């Protein structure tokens, strides 16, 4: 695998029943870059994203190869729990657990058996700073995570994902439940995060893809139509379908 590639999909198809929702997608995600998956509802972008860290296990059949560090993580024998710690996920809606802010952040870390208070404290601070939430919550780490605003909760969920030190962060429409100000904050956070992480984001908001991503993949009816640098996709799309979608002719 080339050095600057974080993840490679080879011929990935996903089917919930007989009919595939995602068809033969092959693509390479570059390290320390933000890649956006765009497309209309039902284009298969979320399904594809959720297949990457095996969240579709038991829900859908995923075929093809998903190469991560030269290992096909789509094989049945792979430890999915390890995969999910290396490839974290942020969901459409904030999903804080009903416990304190501090406990939320170190929840994934506790799984690895880490008990040293100093390590935990340090990781909480580090993760919250990375997620740009530290200044707002540092004086009330013991408060319930549910007392935070929606935008803060989503950044907390990002911090929680960061605490397990993943390499890749998958974001499934992370701002769809948030107001514009919170959305801007999350996007700014993503820009900071790409220094250390590779981000793959699903969004139905084209402006968000054009603002925040380096690479954009356009999906249509389960097929990957076009995958290129974001500026290229938006300024000079090569495919007619991409052009039609970007111009609001469907979707």
- State the residues that interact with another protein by CB under 8 A: 53, 55, 81-85, 88-89, 91-93, 95, 97-99, 107-108, 111, 143-144, 146-147, 157, 160-161, 164
* Minimum gap (Å) between residue 108 Cβ and another protein: 4
Minimum CB distance to another protein smaller for 141 or for 223:
141
Nearest to 79 by CA among 53, 60, 59: 53
* Burial of 94 from C-beta contacts in 10 A (0-12 / 13-18 / 19+): buried
Q: What are phi and psi of 172, to 5 degrees?
A: -100, 95
CA distance 222 to 13: 9
How many CA atoms within 13 Å lie on the side-chain side of 197? Answer: 28
* Minimum gap (Å) between residue 77 Cβ and another protein: 16
* Minimum gap (Å) between residue 106 Cβ and another protein: 11
* Minimum gap (Å) between residue 62 Cβ and another protein: 15
* Minimum gap (Å) between residue 186 Cβ and another protein: 17
For 190, the token pair is 């993503």
Write the DSSP symbol of residue 95: -
* Minimum gap (Å) between residue 86 Cβ and another protein: 8
Minimum CB distance to another protein smaller for 51 or for 216:
51
Minimum CB distance to another protein smaller for 25 or for 89:
89
Minimum CB distance to another protein smaller for 156 or for 233:
156
For 89, 142, 249, the CA distances from 171, given in Å and listed in that order, are 6, 27, 26
CA distance 32 to 27: 16
Minimum CB distance to another protein smaller for 157 or for 241:
157
Minimum CB distance to another protein smaller for 107 or for 134:
107
User: What are the respective helix, strand and coil percentages of the chain, to the nearest 5?
Assistant: 35, 25, 35
Nearest to 176 by CA among 198, 150, 147: 150
């Amino acid at each position: 695998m080339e050095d600057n590639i974080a993840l490679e999909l080879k011929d990935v198809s996903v089917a919930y029943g007989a009919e595939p929702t995602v068809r033969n997608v092959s693509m390479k995600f570059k390290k320390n870059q933000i890649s956006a998956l765009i497309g209309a509802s039902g284009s298969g972008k979320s399904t594809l994203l959720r297949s990457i860290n095996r969240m579709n296990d038991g829900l859908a059949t995923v075929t093809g190869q998903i190469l991560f560090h030269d290992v096909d993580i789509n094989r049945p024998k792979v430890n999915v729990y390890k995969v999910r710690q290396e490839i974290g996920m942020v969901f459409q809606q904030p999903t804080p657990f009903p416990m304190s802010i501090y406990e939320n952040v170190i929840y994934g870390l506790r799984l690895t058996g880490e008990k040293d208070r100093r390590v935990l404290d340090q990781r909480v601070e580090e993760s919250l700073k990375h997620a740009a939430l530290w200044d707002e919550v540092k004086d009330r780490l013991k408060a319930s995570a549910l007392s935070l605003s929606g935008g803060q909760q989503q950044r907390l969920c990002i911090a929680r994902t960061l605490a397990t030190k993943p390499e890749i962060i998958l974001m499934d429409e992370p701002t769809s439940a948030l107001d514009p100000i919170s959305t801007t904050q999350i996007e700014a956070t993503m820009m900071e995060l790409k220094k250390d992480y590779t981000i793959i984001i699903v969004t139905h908001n084209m402006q968000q893809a054009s603002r925040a991503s380096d690479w954009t993949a356009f999906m249509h009816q389960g097929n990957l139509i076009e995958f290129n640098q974001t500026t290229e996709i938006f300024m000079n799309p090569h495919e007619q379908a991409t052009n039609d979608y970007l111009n609001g002719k469907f979707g």
